[in-house]
C-alpha cells in the first residue's frame, strides 16, 4: 500500500538515516525536545533536554547519483543552555531546549534562536576553513617571539585548514518571562520575533536585548480566576503585523499588531463548539491545543490537540475546514492516560512544502500523515527494525477493537513510552525528520 | 453532564490521583508547570462535581427512604383523620405559605427533578453551599439534628438524624443563605423538606396538601427564573463537605488550586503539615476532600 504525499503521485517513504544512541537505556539529557529545518532545508537542528543543540547539514548532492538524496551529517554541536537556579523563588530552571527557530540566511553565517523555559539566545553558526599563517611576532603555536630574533618581515596569509564550525552566542534575551516559555516565532520582517509563555507574549527586536514589548497579557487580576493559558503562538508567514496564539481551552486568537499596542483583543477567534455528548472528566485536557502552525501560504492554520489535527481557514472562525483523527482509539483510554501522565503530552504538527500534507506524531513510535488533497492518511513507524537502508516503510494499523487482523496492533499493546512529539518536514523536498525519545530518524521519498 | 461511563476510575479515585499530581508537581524540576496544573484542576473540578452529585443523590434517596419509614410508623400510631389535619396545617406553612417553603419542597424533589431545576437556585454540585445554621439550642431537642450545617468550619457534621422523634419536635431553625446572605427562620420542624415528600406519599386522605404541593412544585419547576426571587434555602451539607467559600466553588470558576502556581512554595508551605497528613500513604480522598477547603484557602496567589 502506498504512502501519501503531495503532488498527486503516491509517495513511498524510505528509511534514510537514524541519529543517536542505539542502546535502550536512554539518558534523560539525550531526550530530543525540538526539531527544526532551516529555511533552505540544508540544515537540520535538534535540541535536547540536556540543553544541547546538534545541527546536521545535508551533504552536497552526489553528482554520480543525482536521484539519491544526500545524507545529513553532524555539522555542529554546542551547549546552548545550562541549568540555572532562581534564588529568589528557589526554583531550578531547566536547560531543556523548548524550541529552535532558524533565521533566514543573510550572509555566510547561519543564525538560530534557541530557548529554554526562561531565556532565549541568538546563536551564530559560522564556518572557518582558513586561518592566517606567517605572523611576525607570533610562532605558529601562538607563543610570542622574542622581537630581537625578528630579522625579516612578511605579510601573513590565509591558508586552508580543516573546516571548523563555530557556534557563538550573539544575543541573550533574558528576564522577560515569569512563566515557562513555550514558543518563539520569527517575524517575516526578519527584524523582530515573539516569545510566548503561559500568560504573556513578548515582542523583541533581534538586535535589542535589554527590553521587549509585551503584546499579549492574559494574566487575570486574581490568579484564582485563571481559566486558560497560552499554549503556542506564531507569526503569520507573510503579514508581519499578524500573529496567532492558541489556548488551553482549544481556541485560537488572531491578532493584528496595527490595531493596538496591547493585543489583548483579538481580531479573530477560532473556536469549535464542544460536542456535549463527548463530555468526560478529561474534556478540558484533550481540547487543549499543543501546537499551532500556519500553512506556508498563510491561508490556513493547523492546530493539534490530544486526539486530532484541525485545519482552519483564516476566513472562517466558527469551525475548522478539516479535522483529522490521529488516534481516536485512545478516547476510551483517557483514564489510564491521565494516570500515567501521557494525556499531557504535547504533540507538534507540521505542513509539507506545498501545504498538501500534514504530519504529526503518536505513540508506539507511530507518526501519521494526512493528505488533504487526496483525502488519505497513513500511519508509519520509526523503529530500528525497519531501518535497513532505503527500505520502504510499511503502513501500520491499530486495531481499535474486535478481531485483530494480521499485522495489526491492538491498542493494549501500544507502547506509550515511545512517543513521537516532534516532527519536521523539509521546506521543499519530501524529506522528513522524526524524533523518537532519543533518536532522530530521517526518511525520504523513494526515488523513481 | 459528564459522561462517567467511559472512565474506569470513580470520581473519588480521580480526585486522589489529581491531588497527588498537584502535590508531586511542587517538587519536580523546573518549577510548577502552570498549564499542567490548570488541566489537573479541571479534572479535579469535574470529578468533584460528579462526586458531589452522587453523594447528593444518595443523600436524598436515603432521606426519602427514612422519611417514608418514619411516617409509615407514625401512621400506625396516629388516627388517620388527625394526621390529615396536621398535614394540612403544616403543609400550609411548609409549602403554601412563603417563599422558602416552596423551594424547600422543591428541594424535596427526587434527585432527577432536582437536576432539572438546579440551575435555578441550588448550586449543585455544591452541597457546600448549604445553609449556615445558627446553633439554636432551643430549637432541636435532639441537638445534633439536621440543619446544623456549618460551611465555615471543616468539621464533619453528623448525618441528619431522621428518627421520628426528632422530626416531630424540631421547631425552629435559622438558616443563612451563603449566596444571598439572607437569614431565614424556618418554623416548625415539618418545614424541613423531609416533611413534604413522605406526606405526599403517605397522606392518602390529605388531598389538599398534596395538591397544594403539586401546584407549588409545578410553579417551581416551570418557572425557574421566578424561583430566584425566593430565598433559596440550601440543602443540608453532607458530612464530608469541606468547602469554606460556597460562592467560590461556582463551577464556572477554576478552583482555588490554581493559585498554587504563583510564587511556588509560599502558600503551600504554610499548609504543608495539614496536607501531608492527608497524603500519607494512600491518598484518602475523603480526607482530601475534607481538607481541600483549608488547603486551597491557604494558597497564596502569585
Q: Are B264 and A90 an interchain contact pair (Cβ–Cβ within 8 Å)?
A: yes
The pLDDT value recorded for residue B90 is: 52
Which of A432-441, B167-176, B218-227 has the least mean pLDDT? B218-227
CB A15 within 8 A of CB A391: yes
Q: Is the pLDDT of residue A323 over 90?
A: yes
Mutate to test the interface with A, among B42, B48, B125 (most CBs of A within 10 A): B42
Q: Is the pLDDT of residue B223 over 60?
A: no
Comparing A412 with B120, the larger pLDDT belongs to: A412
- The residue of chain B nearest to residue A228, with distances taken between CA atoms, is B38
* Cell 422558602, located at residue: B100
- The residue of chain B nearest to residue A247, with distances taken between CA atoms, is B35
Count of CB atoms situated within 10 Å of the CB of A173: 25
The residues, ordered by sequence, that sit 6+ positions from B181 with a Cβ below 8 Å of its Cβ are none
CB A252 within 8 A of CB A312: yes
Q: Are B30 and A92 an interchain contact pair (Cβ–Cβ within 8 Å)?
A: yes
Which of A283-292, A358-367, A436-445, B94-103 has the least mean pLDDT? B94-103
Chain A residues in contact with B4 by the CB 8 A cut-off are 280-281
Cα–Cα dist A331/A126, whole Å: 48
CA-CA-CA-CA dihedral for B245, B101, B75, B64, to nearest 10: -40
Shortest distance, CA B38 to any CA of chain A (angstroms): 8
Chain A residues in contact with B23 by the CB 8 A cut-off are none
Place A378 in a pLDDT band, splitting at 50, 70 and 90.
very high
Q: Are B31 and A248 an interchain contact pair (Cβ–Cβ within 8 Å)?
A: no
Q: Are B34 and A334 an interchain contact pair (Cβ–Cβ within 8 Å)?
A: no
Place B82 in a pLDDT band, splitting at 50, 70 and 90.
low
Q: Is the pLDDT of residue B287 over 90?
A: no
Q: Are B50 and A281 an interchain contact pair (Cβ–Cβ within 8 Å)?
A: yes
Strands of B183-187's sheet in order across: B132-133, B172-176, B183-187
Place B120 in a pLDDT band, splitting at 50, 70 and 90.
very low
Mutate to test the interface with B, among A177, A224, A329 (most CBs of B within 10 A): A224
What is the interface size between A and B, counted as CB pairs within 8 Å?
111
ω into B73 cis (within 30 of 0): no
How would you label A382-409 residue by residue, b for 16+ Cβ within 10 Å and e otherwise?
bbeebeeeeebbebbebbeeeeeeeeeb
Chain A residues in contact with B43 by the CB 8 A cut-off are 281-282, 284-285, 338
Cα–Cα dist A73/A83, whole Å: 28
Q: Which run of H or E residues covers position B117?
A: helix B111-121
Q: Is the pLDDT of residue A115 over 60?
A: yes
Q: Is the pLDDT of residue A185 over 50?
A: yes
Place B76 in a pLDDT band, splitting at 50, 70 and 90.
confident
Shortest distance, CA B250 to any CA of chain A (angstroms): 11
Summarize the confidence of residues B149-171 as an average pLDDT.
39
CB A247 within 8 A of CB A254: no
Residue B228 DSSP one-character state: T
The pLDDT value recorded for residue A403 is: 75
Shortest distance, CA B183 to any CA of chain A (angstroms): 29
Residue B236 DSSP one-character state: P
The pLDDT value recorded for residue A324 is: 97
Q: Are A280 and B6 an interchain contact pair (Cβ–Cβ within 8 Å)?
A: yes
Q: Among the ranges A418-422, B56-60, B87-91, which has the highest mean pLDDT value?
A: A418-422
The pLDDT value recorded for residue A309 is: 98
How would you label A252-282 residue by residue, b for 16+ Cβ within 10 Å and e otherwise?
bbbbbbeeeeebeebebebbbeeeeeeebbb
The pLDDT value recorded for residue A11 is: 86
Cα–Cα dist B293/B278, whole Å: 13
Of B1, B34, B262, the CB nearest to A279: B1
Cα–Cα dist A368/A353, whole Å: 17
Place B265 in a pLDDT band, splitting at 50, 70 and 90.
very low
Mutate to test the interface with A, among B13, B39, B44, B125 (most CBs of A within 10 A): B39
Cα–Cα dist A354/A360, whole Å: 16
Sign of torsion, CA A126 A131 A136 A139? positive
The pLDDT value recorded for residue A68 is: 62
Comparing A405 with A29, the larger pLDDT belongs to: A29
The pLDDT value recorded for residue A227 is: 95
Which of A253-257, A315-319, B212-216, B278-282 has the least mean pLDDT? B212-216
Tens digits of residue pLDDT in A387-396 = 888 789 999 9
Strands of A322-325's sheet in order across: A291-294, A300-304, A308-313, A322-325
The pLDDT value recorded for residue B250 is: 39
CB A334 within 8 A of CB A280: yes
Share of chain A above pLDDT 70, in %: 96
Q: Is the pLDDT of residue B109 over 60?
A: no
Comparing B165 with A198, the larger pLDDT belongs to: A198
Summarize the confidence of residues B112-127 as an average pLDDT.
38
Chain B residues in contact with A91 by the CB 8 A cut-off are 30-31, 264
The residues, ordered by sequence, that sit 6+ positions from A51 with a Cβ below 8 Å of its Cβ are A29, A79, A80, A81, A82, A83, A95, A96, A97, A116
Q: Among the ranges A402-411, B115-124, B186-195, B230-239, which has the highest mean pLDDT value?
A: A402-411
The pLDDT value recorded for residue B184 is: 58
The pLDDT value recorded for residue A385 is: 84
Which of A189-198, B1-10, B260-269 has the least mean pLDDT? B260-269
Q: Is the pLDDT of residue B144 over 50?
A: no
CB A55 within 8 A of CB A76: yes
Place B97 in a pLDDT band, splitting at 50, 70 and 90.
very low
Of B2, B17, B254, the CB nearest to A279: B2
Comparing A159 with B1, the larger pLDDT belongs to: A159
N-term to C-term CA, chain B:
32
Q: Which run of H or E residues covers position B50?
A: helix B34-77
Q: Is the pLDDT of residue B197 over 50?
A: no
Nearest CA to A263 out of A228, A194, A216 is that of A216
Mutate to test the interface with B, among A117, A199, A226 (most CBs of B within 10 A): A226
Summarize the confidence of residues A331-347 as an average pLDDT.
95
Cα–Cα dist B217/B207, whole Å: 15
- State whether residue A336 sits within 8 Å of chain B by CB: yes
Sign of torsion, CA B57 B62 B68 B70? negative
Alpha-carbon distances, residue A268 vs A65, A200, B184 (angstroms):
50, 18, 49
Q: Is the pLDDT of residue B157 over 60?
A: no
Query: Chain-centre distance of CA A382, in angstroms?
Result: 17
Cα–Cα dist B123/B233, whole Å: 11
What rounded mean pLDDT belongs to chain A?
93
Comparing A132 with B146, the larger pLDDT belongs to: A132
Comparing B266 with A409, the larger pLDDT belongs to: A409
The pLDDT value recorded for residue A88 is: 87
Q: Are B6 and A225 an interchain contact pair (Cβ–Cβ within 8 Å)?
A: no
Tens digits of residue pLDDT in A67-91 = 666 899 999 999 999 999 988 888 8
Q: Are B30 and A94 an interchain contact pair (Cβ–Cβ within 8 Å)?
A: yes
Q: Which run of H or E residues covers position B249?
A: none
By the 10 Å C-beta count (0-12 exposed, 13-18 middle, 19+ buried), A221 is classed as exposed
The SS3 call for residue B19 is helix
Place B148 in a pLDDT band, splitting at 50, 70 and 90.
very low
The pLDDT value recorded for residue B172 is: 56
The pLDDT value recorded for residue A241 is: 96
The pLDDT value recorded for residue A410 is: 92
Which of A413-422, B40-49, B139-148 has the least mean pLDDT? B139-148
Q: Are B30 and A332 an interchain contact pair (Cβ–Cβ within 8 Å)?
A: no
C-alpha cell recorded at residue B210: 398534596
The residues, ordered by sequence, that sit 6+ positions from A347 with a Cβ below 8 Å of its Cβ are A290, A291, A304, A306, A326, A360, A361, A362, A420, A421
The pLDDT value recorded for residue B89 is: 54
Cα–Cα dist B160/B192, whole Å: 12
Q: Is the pLDDT of residue A167 over 80?
A: yes
The pLDDT value recorded for residue A446 is: 84
Tens digits of residue pLDDT in A361-373 = 999 999 999 999 9
Q: Are A180 and B265 an interchain contact pair (Cβ–Cβ within 8 Å)?
A: no
The pLDDT value recorded for residue A388 is: 84
Q: Is the pLDDT of residue B107 over 60?
A: no
Nearest CA to B129 out of B139, B116, B137, B118 is that of B118
Tens digits of residue pLDDT in A13-65 = 999 999 998 877 889 999 999 999 999 999 999 999 999 999 999 998 776 66
Summarize the confidence of residues B41-65 as an average pLDDT.
91
- The residue of chain A nearest to residue B16, with distances taken between CA atoms, is A339
Biggest CA pair distance of chain B: 75
Which of A8-17, A32-41, A313-322 has the least mean pLDDT? A8-17
Tens digits of residue pLDDT in A271-280 = 999 888 888 9
Which of A100-104, A309-313, B8-12 has the least mean pLDDT? B8-12
Amino acid at each position: 500500500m502506498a504512502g501519501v504525499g503531495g503532488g498527486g503521485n503516491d509517495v513511498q517513504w524510505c528509511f534514510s538515516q537514524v541519529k543517536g544512541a542505539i542502546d535502550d537505556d536512554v539518558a534523560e539529557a539525550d531526550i530530543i525536545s525540538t526539531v527544526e529545518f532551516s529555511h533552505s532545508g540544508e540544515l537540520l537542528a535538534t535540541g535536547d533536554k540536556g540543553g544541547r543543540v546538534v545541527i546536521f547539514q545535508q551533504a552536497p548532492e552526489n553528482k554520480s547519483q543525482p536521484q539519491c538524496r544526500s545524507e545529513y551529517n553532524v555539522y555542529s554541536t554546542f551547549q546552548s543552555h545550562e541549568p540555572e537556579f532562581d534564588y529568589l523563588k528557589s526554583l531550578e530552571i531547566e536547560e531543556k531546549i523548548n524550541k529552535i527557530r532558524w533565521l533566514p540566511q543573510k550572509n555566510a553565517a547561519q543564525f538560530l534562536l534557541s530557548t529554554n523555559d526562561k531565556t532565549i539566545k541568538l546563536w551564530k553558526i559560522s564556518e572557518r576553513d582558513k586561518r592566517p599563517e606567517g605572523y611576525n611576532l607570533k610562532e605558529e603555536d601562538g607563543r610570542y617571539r622574542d622581537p630581537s630574533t625578528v630579522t625579516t618581515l612578511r605579510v601573513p596569509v590565509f591558508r586552508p585548514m580543516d573546516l571548523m564550525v563555530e557556534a557563538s552566542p550573539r544575543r541573550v534575551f533574558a528576564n522577560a518571562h515569569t512563566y515557562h516559555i513555550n514558543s518563539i516565532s520569527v517575524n517575516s520582517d526578519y527584524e523582530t520575533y515573539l516569545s510566548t509563555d503561559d500568560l504573556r507574549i513578548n515582542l523583541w527586536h533581534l538586535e535589542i536585548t535589554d527590553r521587549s514589548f509585551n503584546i499579549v497579557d492574559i494574566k487575570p487580576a486574581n490568579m484564582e480566576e485563571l481559566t486558560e493559558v497560552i499554549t503556542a503562538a506564531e507569526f503569520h508567514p507573510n503579514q508581519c503585523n499578524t500573529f496567532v496564539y492558541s489556548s488551553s481551552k482549544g481556541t485560537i486568537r488572531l491578532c493584528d499588531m496595527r490595531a493596538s499596542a496591547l493585543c489583548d483583543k483579538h481580531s479573530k477567534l477560532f473556536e469549535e463548539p464542544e460536542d456535549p455528548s463527548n463530555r468526560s472528566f478529561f474534556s478540558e485536557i484533550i481540547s487543549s491545543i499543543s501546537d499551532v502552525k500556519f500553512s506556508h501560504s498563510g491561508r490556513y492554520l493547523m492546530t493539534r490537540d490530544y486526539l486530532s489535527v484541525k485545519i482552519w481557514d483564516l476566513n472562517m472562525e466558527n469551525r475548522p475546514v478539516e479535522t483529522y483523527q490521529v488516534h481516536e482509539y485512545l478516547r476510551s483510554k483517557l483514564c489510564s492516560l491521565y494516570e500515567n501522565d501521557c494525556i499531557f503530552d504535547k504533540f507538534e504538527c507540521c505542513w509539507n512544502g506545498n501545504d498538501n500534507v500534514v504530519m504529526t506524531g503518536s505513540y508506539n513510535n507511530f507518526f501519521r500523515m494526512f493528505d488533504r488533497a487526496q483525502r488519505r492518511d497513513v500511519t508509519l513507524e520509526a523503529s530500528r527494525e525497519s531501518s535497513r537502508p532505503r527500505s520502504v516503510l510499511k503502513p501500520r494499523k491499530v486495531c481499535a477493537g474486535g478481531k485483530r487482523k494480521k499485522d495489526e496492533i491492538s491498542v493494549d499493546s501500544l507502547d506509550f513510552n515511545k512517543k513521537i512529539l516532534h516532527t519536521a518536514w523539509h521546506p521543499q523536498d519530501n524529506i522528513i525528520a522524526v524524533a523518537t525519545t532519543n533518536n532522530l530518524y530521517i526518511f525520504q521519498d523513494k526515488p523513481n | 453532564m459528564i459522561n462517567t461511563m467511559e472512565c474506569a476510575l470513580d470520581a473519588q479515585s480521580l480526585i486522589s490521583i489529581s491531588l497527588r499530581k498537584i502535590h508531586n508537581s511542587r517538587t519536580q524540576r523546573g518549577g510548577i508547570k502552570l498549564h499542567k496544573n490548570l488541566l489537573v484542576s479541571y479534572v479535579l473540578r469535574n470529578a468533584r462535581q460528579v462526586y458531589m452529585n452522587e453523594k447528593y443523590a444518595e443523600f436524598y434517596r436515603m432521606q426519602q427512604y427514612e422519611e417514608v419509614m418514619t411516617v409509615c410508623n407514625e401512621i400506625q400510631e396516629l388516627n388517620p383523620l388527625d394526621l390529615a389535619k396536621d398535614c394540612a396545617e403544616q403543609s400550609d406553612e411548609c409549602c403554601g405559605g412563603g417563599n422558602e417553603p416552596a423551594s424547600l419542597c422543591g428541594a424535596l424533589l427526587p434527585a432527577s427533578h432536582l437536576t432539572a431545576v438546579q440551575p435555578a437556585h441550588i448550586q449543585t454540585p455544591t452541597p457546600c453551599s448549604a445553609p449556615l445554621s445558627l446553633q439554636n439550642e432551643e430549637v432541636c431537642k435532639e441537638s445534633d439534628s439536621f440543619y446544623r450545617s456549618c460551611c465555615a468550619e471543616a468539621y464533619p457534621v453528623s448525618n441528619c438524624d431522621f428518627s421520628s422523634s426528632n422530626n416531630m419536635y424540631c421547631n425552629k431553625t435559622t438558616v443563612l443563605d451563603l449566596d444571598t446572605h439572607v437569614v431565614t427562620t424556618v418554623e416548625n420542624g415539618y418545614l424541613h423538606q423531609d416533611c413534604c415528600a413522605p406526606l405526599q406519599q403517605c397522606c392518602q386522605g390529605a388531598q389538599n396538601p398534596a395538591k397544594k404541593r403539586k401546584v407549588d412544585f409545578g410553579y417551581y419547576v416551570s418557572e425557574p427564573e421566578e424561583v430566584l426571587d425566593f430565598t433559596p434555602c440550601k440543602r443540608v451539607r453532607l458530612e464530608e463537605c469541606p468547602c469554606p467559600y460556597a460562592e467560590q466553588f461556582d463551577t464556572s470558576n477554576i478552583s482555588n488550586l490554581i493559585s498554587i502556581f504563583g510564587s511556588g512554595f509560599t502558600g503551600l508551605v504554610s499548609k504543608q503539615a495539614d496536607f501531608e497528613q492527608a497524603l500519607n500513604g494512600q491518598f484518602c480522598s475523603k480526607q482530601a476532600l475534607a481538607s481541600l477547603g483549608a488547603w486551597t484557602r491557604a494558597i497564596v496567589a502569585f
